[in-house]
Structure 1
Amino acid sequence: MTDVTADPDRAAQLRDQIVDTLIADGTIVSKPVETAMRAVPRHQFAPDASMDEVYSAYNAVFTKKDEHGVIMSSVSAPQIQAMMLEQAGIEPGMRVLEVGSGGYNAALIAELVGASGEVTTVDIDPEVTDRAARLLAGAGYTRVRVVCADATDGVPAYGLYDRIVVTAGAWDIPPAWVSQLTAGGRLVVPLRMRGLTRSIAFDRAGDHLTSVSAQVCGFVPMQGAGAHREELLLVTGTGEIGLRFDDGLPADPSRLDNAVRTPRAETWSGVLIGRQEPFDTLQLYLATVLDGFCIMAVDPDLDTGLVAPANRWFCMAAVDGGSFAYVTTRRTADEASVEFGVHALGPDAVALAERVAEQIRTWERERRSGPGPVIRVYPADTPDDQLPDGRVIDKQHCRISISWPAATAA
């Protein structure tokens, strides 16, 4: 027995502390979400975890790993769950489908829909659904339906749904997730676009979806038919530097073979940002305007200093022909902020570094103070002339359009 299950009163106290923290940081903004998160005993859905693990506002609890240690299932961090429930706007009496089962989030949804609503949770892994069903029943949420199936097809037996909440990282939007929504229904999904994942709330309008909010997040990736692997391009023979592409490698990746043999070009943008200030719109903006956008990672065990990213695990980058560039930062004199810069390697390194830096300056002038883009999802056979202006990302089942509003002064 863990310390949490041994002392439920202490667990309830810690649960209230988490909710108070999430109210203070602006994650929880509605009374229904607050009430649900105070009511559901989170510790009963992670019985093997310690008190510190279960009752941390910003950390997930991992419940299943494969033989290589890769996370297969988890109870998401309370902050992420509260954020997505606020995005979903679930009301009493609604019919809700949850894609990705763990038990705890389905219990929160059950609290939100009340006795007159319906909750169905689906997962491809029978071990996960068996565990979720057992834990839900033990916590008293016997009305939640638990279905073992590949969620690519949705769960048509119990739809149409007012809300579909996806709790696994998705690369694509299968048609069933749109067709099984009611008119005006909402899909909340952690969607990966060009290597960036955002929890996006989409409202249905006919055959397509339009975003109403987007928040930074990270999730265990989808399994089954919806699984999708990024492609990795190693630009050094040792594997020191890897470039991850979400939608296919460059046309001739061998052109990068000698990029690291050239001197590193460095340019600085003059754009400053506070150390704790989010810059997720910059990430989306560069992913929109740079054709060769990708994510760079450096193996710390093989790092020779050829590149110097601010974050070796996740760094915005771009490829153009035989050159590649990446975004980094340097400290300012007052150390209260950092400055964005660009490093590049390859025969056109100087020009590429300056082009990327100029896009950072454009973001500063026109996008930093304004709203983020509108993201729309259309059927895969939608012609180009029926799509709005902006970056179009083609997936297997859909076409995603990222459109920025009119520029605003910084």
Structure 2
Amino acid sequence: MTTMDGSLVRDPDELRADMVRALREQEGIKSERVAAAFAAVPRHLFAPDAPAELAYNLHRTVPVKKDGNGLDISVMSAAHLQAVMLEQLAVGPGMKVLEIGSNGVNAAYLQELVGPDGEVTTVDIDPDVIGPARVNLDATGYSRVKTIVADGESGVPAGQYDRIIVTVAAWDIPPSWIGALAEKGRLVVPLTMCGTTRSIAFDRDGDGLISDSYGLAHFVPMQGEGAARERKVMLRLGVALQTDDVRVPLNTDALNSALDTSRLERWSGAAYDLPDELDLYLTLNLSSVARLHADPAVIDSGIIEPSARFGVPALVSEDSFAYRTRRENADTGGYESGVIAHGPNAEALADDYANVLREWAANHRRRGAATFRYLPGPAPATLPQDAVLRRHGIVTVTWH
């Protein structure tokens, strides 16, 4: 089919078939059941205002709603990420599934996976999101999906669910989610820790949770009672530090002054590889970590390294900071990790940071090296070194 200007418009069924093939090739889809669900659901009908080519793009989101500043607060997630998380969820026929955060299409996939004997409930805080989701579910034949307007933290519908999937970036795991999870249930949640997010598949482990798998994820943040508690400071135009750890000092004036000092370079001799795994390790093992962001103009000026383009873990003190960089080095397999540091304590911070880089390269340089546990309830008087303090409990990480 061609439009008035002569451009080609591809048939949605063809686009959907191509999407499924590509998801298989990229290992987003690994099972026949998830493949069948993606082949069955007319994804483009859940994004009626977007081009079908965008709806079926593997790695692009479709905007659903923006805030007053033009930032996305609801999107239809990219197909690849949805497939990965549904594989993590391991939904079986006849299961009872709860989705927190709704656009409709993921609930349709879930209905395909649970089959006629299963039950799917999807919850969203925003009537402007859940309303169109309801309309689209009914229009595409998925009227059995239950839709509820509620806060995802406190408004979880009563019942025991075999599977719970969260499709917004969550800062914590509230008691309502664990309480609603069946004894052998699984929770898949994009959990944000110190500015970095991973989709973690948690299984019940007594009163708490233990991870089965995790992967890179990016979602709009949760709204309502579960909204993140983060601090963000602008050191100067185009340079920001962000953290959710109240123990990290963010002295704006002193850290901005540090940026005016000569930069210290420290090369670790350790391989730079698997950037998402390294990023996670640094985030959870640096002693006082924030996320350093710099816009392209600042990076082009040479003030900040390109590693900060999408955020990089920074080790922060009252008046100094250090962050990761890299350079080509055939002796370390292609690239070598290094540290850039600024401020009066640059030497000490650079040494500490480089030691963490070496530890990762020597002992944890592979995918899936972390096991996460979530322990609900009051934090112990002395937190373990690897613990991340949350509102309702703590996250601990063991590295293998």
Q: State TM-score, norm by structure 2.
A: 0.92
- Is it true that 1:363 corresponds to 2:360 in the alignment? yes
Q: CA deviation at 1:309?
A: 3.2
- Over 3 Å counting, the alpha-carbon distance change for 1:84 and 1:154 in structure 2 is farther
Q: Partner letter of residue 15 of structure 1?
A: R
Q: Partner letter of residue 392 of structure 2?
A: H
Moved over 4 A (4+): 301-304, 332-336
Equivalent in the alignment of 2:283: 287
Deviations 1:221-248 (A, max 9, x none): 101111124211333xx33421111222
CA contact (8 A) 1:323 1:345 kept: yes
Superposed, 1:165-244 pairs within 5 Å as 165-235=165-235, 238-244=236-242
How far, CA to CA, are the matches of 1:390 and 1:355 in structure 2?
15
How far, CA to CA, are the matches of 1:240 and 1:133 in structure 2?
41
CA contact (8 A) 2:233 2:250 kept: no
**Which one is further off, 135-144 or 42-51?**
42-51
Deviations 1:105-136 (A, max 9, x none): 00000000000000000000001111100000
- Over 3 Å counting, the alpha-carbon distance change for 1:370 and 1:74 in structure 2 is closer
Size of the aligned set, in residue pairs, is: 393
Partner secondary structure for residue 132 of structure 1: helix
How far, CA to CA, are the matches of 2:10 and 2:319 in structure 1?
61
Q: Partner letter of residue 393 of structure 1?
A: V
Q: CA deviation at 1:37?
A: 0.5
How far, CA to CA, are the matches of 1:115 and 1:8 in structure 2?
35
Equivalent in the alignment of 1:264: 263
**Which one is further off, 190-199 or 325-334?**
325-334
Superposed, 1:328-339 pairs within 5 Å as 328-332=325-329, 337-339=334-336
How far, CA to CA, are the matches of 1:211 and 1:397 in structure 2?
18
Superposed, 1:17-32 pairs within 5 Å as 17-32=18-33
Q: State TM-score, norm by structure 1.
A: 0.90
Q: Partner letter of residue 114 of structure 1?
A: G
Superposed, 1:84-99 pairs within 5 Å as 84-99=85-100
How far, CA to CA, are the matches of 2:29 and 2:13 in structure 1?
18
Deviations 1:192-244 (A, max 9, x none): 01111000000012210111101001001101111124211333xx3342111
Equivalent in the alignment of 2:123: 122
Say which of 284, 296, 299 aligns to 1:300: 296
Q: Partner letter of residue 326 of structure 2?
A: T
How far, CA to CA, are the matches of 2:150 and 2:349 in structure 1?
47
What is the root-mean-square deviation in Å for CA atoms of aligned residues? 2.4
Equivalent in the alignment of 1:245: 243
Q: Partner letter of residue 32 of structure 2?
A: K
Q: CA deviation at 1:9?
A: 8.4
How far, CA to CA, are the matches of 2:381 and 2:374 in structure 1?
13
Say which of 382, 386, 404 aligns to 2:399: 404
CA contact (8 A) 1:98 1:120 kept: yes
Superposed, 1:19-98 pairs within 5 Å as 19-98=20-99
Q: Partner letter of residue 38 of structure 2?
A: M
Q: CA deviation at 1:268?
A: 1.6
CA contact (8 A) 1:309 1:327 kept: no
Q: Partner letter of residue 108 of structure 1?
A: Y
Say which of 389, 393, 400 aligns to 2:388: 393
How far, CA to CA, are the matches of 2:44 and 2:377 in structure 1?
42
Deviations 1:139-180 (A, max 9, x none): 0001000000101024233x2100000000100111000000
Partner secondary structure for residue 387 of structure 2: strand
CA contact (8 A) 2:388 2:395 kept: yes
How far, CA to CA, are the matches of 1:392 and 1:220 in structure 2?
24
How far, CA to CA, are the matches of 1:94 and 1:222 in structure 2?
25
Identity score, percent: 44
Partner secondary structure for residue 328 of structure 1: strand
- Over 3 Å counting, the alpha-carbon distance change for 1:136 and 1:52 in structure 2 is same
Q: Partner letter of residue 270 of structure 2?
A: V
- Over 3 Å counting, the alpha-carbon distance change for 1:9 and 1:259 in structure 2 is closer
Partner secondary structure for residue 267 of structure 2: strand
How far, CA to CA, are the matches of 2:154 and 2:359 in structure 1?
41
Q: Partner letter of residue 16 of structure 1?
A: A
How far, CA to CA, are the matches of 1:209 and 1:333 in structure 2?
42
Equivalent in the alignment of 1:141: 142
Deviations 1:250-296 (A, max 9, x none): 346254353123210001222334xxx63322122212221111110
Equivalent in the alignment of 2:338: 341
**Which one is further off, 390-399 or 180-189?**
390-399
Partner secondary structure for residue 189 of structure 2: strand
How far, CA to CA, are the matches of 1:227 and 1:370 in structure 2?
29
Q: Partner letter of residue 145 of structure 1?
A: K
**Structure 1 unaligned residues grouped into runs of 5+:** 406-410
